[in-house]
Amino acid sequence: MEFVKYEVADRVGYVTLNRPDKRNALNYQVVAELKEVFKQASEDSTAKVIVLRANGQAFCAGADLAYLQQLQKNTYEENLEDSSHLKELFYQIYTLNKVVIAQIEGHAIAGGCGLATVCDFSFTVPEAKFGYTEVRIGFIPAIVKVFLLRKIGEMKSKQLLLTGELIDANEAVNLGLINEVVDKDKIVGRVKEFTNMLVEKNSGQSMAYTKQMIAAVPSMTLEDGLHYAAEMNAKARASKDCQKGIASFLNKEPITW
C-alpha cells in the first residue's frame, strides 16, 4: 500500500490515510487502497472495531486536482465506472461488519467529508472545517447525499449540500454530522477511551447485527421492517454471544468479550 496504512493495537484496527503532501486527497488509487484495507479489516479476527484517521494537517481534502482534470477527459462509461468505485467504498464502510470511528484532526472537505459521513462515529478537533463544496465547482455531491440524508435528514442536508459552505466543528456536531469535538492534545486519548469501551463491554457480533439492521431497515416498509427485526431477533438468540451474555447475566458473572 502506498497511500493507506493498516495496523492493529489492543483489538482496534487503525486505517490511516497517508498522503499528507496532497492533503490526503482522493484519487482512484487511494480509493482502491482504502477498499482493500477495509476488506482486510473486516476479515481480521484480531480487530474488533476500526478507526479511520489521517497523517498530516488535513483529514481529507476530497478529490485532488490532477484527478479532477483527468475526469474531464473521461467518457461517460469511464466516469460511471469511477463513480461506482467511490460508491463501493462508501457502502463498504457504511455496511462494514465492524464499527468504524473517524478520528478527524484536520479539514474534511467534499469526498473527505463523505468519508466522515459514512463512519458510525466521528470525533474531531475544534480547528477542523467540514463541507460539501461540490456545487461551487459545478459538480454534485451525488453519492454522499444518499448517506447524509439518512444521517441528518432532508432540511439539514439541503443546508450543507445546496450552499456548499464550510462549517466549523461545533456546527457539525449541532447538525448531527459529528459526534464530539475534542481538543487536539486529547483526541487520541478520547478515541482510545471510546474504542476500549466498545471492545471491552460490547459483543462484536451484536454490534455487527445492529449495524446491519440500521442500514437495512430505513428502506423497508413498516411491516417488512418488523418482520426482518423478528427474524434477526430469533437469529441473535441462537448465537454464541447471546448465550454467553445471558448466562453471565443470570449467574451474575462478569462478561469478557
| Residues labelled as active-site residues | 134
Could you please report the per-residue DSSP string of 102-166?
EEE-S-EETHHHHHHHHSSEEEE-TT-EEE--GGGGT---HHHHHHHHHHH-HHHHHHHHHH---
Could you please report the per-residue DSSP string of 14-41?
EEEE--GGGTT-B-HHHHHHHHHHHHHH
Q: Which residues of 190-229 are buried (b: 16+ CB within 10 A; e: fewer)?
A: ebeebbeebbeebbbbebbbebeeeeeeeeeeeeeeeeee
**Count of residues making up the chain:** 257
**Which cell numbers hold the place of 121?**
462515529
**Which cell numbers hold the place of 194?**
471510546
Distances (CA, A) of 216 to 154, 207, 213, 239, 251: 19, 14, 5, 20, 35
Query: What amino acid occupies position 234?
Result: A
Distance of CA 50 to the CA centre of its chain: 9
Cα separation, 228 vs 155, in Å, equals 29
Q: Are 111 and 85 in contact (CB under 8 A)?
A: no
DSSP letter (8 states) at residue 63: B
Cβ-based neighbour number of residue 80 at 10 Å: 11
